[in-house]
């Protein structure tokens, strides 16, 4: 099966991305060589309990990551997905990434199942802000939190419902740059297979799904994806 052909012929495509698609933009992934979870413990930084214990530490970490994202630029992988979307009857981009590189590359209606690093809801009144410096709610004075989904939390219901519906109706799921170890996001791959859609994976390394997908393409997203859109 030729991936380029599959992509060109599919009427309805869903893409699921993970940290790997932003790796070539200089944003560290979580697992694997150079991954954030090699350097930091998720239970100290990315759980509701961690934030309750030490909000200052958690905010310092997210402020640092905001800075990394702000300095990064979308890469050829992000851009190729914009080209793949063009001309499709239905196209949905689901990302586990909290960065905004898909949007800055030109993708629209991105479903952020793990939230956004620039979103900042108040922990008390729920008012939503965008990237404050002081992390205090102007309406009620309470502490704000990063607008991301932490371990032990579930994706926003509306976003998740849209993601599931899109996957159920997809003819083709493209899985790019995710270790596919974090649920429920990784479950979308099984859902696609159960719904009868073809699945193509792009990753330099093997994942738990590599043997279950129709095509497992080993390589960096910024090299593989542009090859598949050449001439379309």
Active site residues: 114
Q: DSSP label at 128?
A: E
Among 160, 207, 209, 228, binds ligand OAD (CB under 6 A): 207
CA distance 232 to 30: 33
Task: Find out whether 99 and 115 touch, Cβ atoms under 8 Å.
Answer: no
- Binds 32: which of Zn ion, ligand OAD, none (CB < 5-8 Å by kind): ligand OAD
Distance CA 95, CA 21 (A): 10
Which residues within the stretch 128-147 sit at the binding site for ligand OAD (CB under 6 A)?
Answer: none
Binding footprint of Zn ion on the chain (CB under 5 A) = 122, 124-125, 127, 137, 139-140, 142
Nearer to ligand OAD, 122 or 225 (CB): 225
Site for ligand OAD contains 22 (CB under 6 A): no
Q: How far is the CB of 85 from ligand OAD (least distance, A)?
A: 18
> Smallest distance from the beta carbon of 147 to ligand OAD, in angstroms?
12
Binding mask 44-63 for ligand OAD (x = CB under 6 A): --x-----------------
Binding partner of residue 40 among ligand OAD, Zn ion, none, CB under 5 to 8 Å per kind?
Answer: none
Residue 179 found at the interface with ligand OAD (CB under 6 A) = yes
CB of 140 to Zn ion, least distance (A): 3
| Angle between helix 157-168 and 187-194 (nearest 10) | 30
Query: What is the phi-psi region of residue 126: left when phi exceeds 0, alpha when psi lies from -120 to 50, beta otherwise?
Result: left
Q: Which of 80, 203, 213, 228 binds ligand OAD (CB under 6 A)?
A: 203
Per CB under 6 A, does 228 bind ligand OAD?
no
Distance CA 55, CA 49 (A): 10
Helix-helix angle 76-85:221-229, to 10 degrees: 30
For the bound state, the minimum distance from the C-beta of residue 226 to ligand OAD, rounded and expressed in Å, comes to 12
Q: Does 18 contact ligand OAD by CB under 6 A?
A: yes
DSSP 3-state of 113: coil
Contact 102, 81 (CB under 8 A): yes
Q: Give backbone dihedrals phi and psi of 23, rounded to 5 degrees, phi first.
A: -60, -40
Provide the mask over 147-166, with x wherever binding to ligand OAD is found by CB under 6 A and - wherever it is not: --xxx---------------
DSSP-based helix, strand, coil % in the chain, nearest 5: 35, 15, 45
Stretch that binds ligand OAD, among 2-10, 121-129, 167-175, 201-209 (CB under 6 A): 201-209
């Amino acid at each position: 099966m030729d991936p380029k052909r599959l992509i060109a012929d599919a009427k309805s495509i869903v893409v699921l991305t993970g940290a790997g698609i932003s790796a070539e933009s200089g944003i560290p992934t979580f697992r694997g060589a150079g991954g954030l979870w090699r350097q930091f413990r998720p239970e100290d930084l990315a759980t509701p309990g961690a934030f309750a214990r030490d909000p200052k530490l958690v905010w310092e970490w997210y402020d640092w990551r905001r800075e990394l994202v702000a300095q990064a630029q979308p890469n050829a992988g992000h851009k190729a997905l914009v080209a793949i979307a063009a001309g499709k009857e239905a196209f949905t981009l689901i990302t586990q990434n909290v960065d905004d590189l898909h949007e800055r590359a030109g993708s629209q209606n991105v479903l952020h199942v793990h939230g956004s690093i620039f979103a900042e809801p108040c922990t008390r009144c729920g008012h939503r802000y965008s990237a404050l410096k002081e992390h205090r709610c102007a309406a009620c004075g309470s502490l704000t939190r990063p607008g991301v989904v932490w371990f032990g939390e579930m994706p926003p219901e509306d976003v998740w419902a849209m993601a599931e519906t899109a996957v159920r109706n997809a003819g083709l799921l493209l899985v790019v740059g995710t270790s596919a170890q974090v649920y429920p996001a990784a479950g979308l791959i099984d859902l696609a297979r159960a719904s009868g859609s073809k699945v193509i994976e792009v990753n330099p390394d093997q994942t738990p799904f590599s043997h279950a997908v129709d095509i497992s393409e080993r390589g960096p997203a910024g090299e593989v994806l542009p090859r598949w859109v050449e001439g379309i």
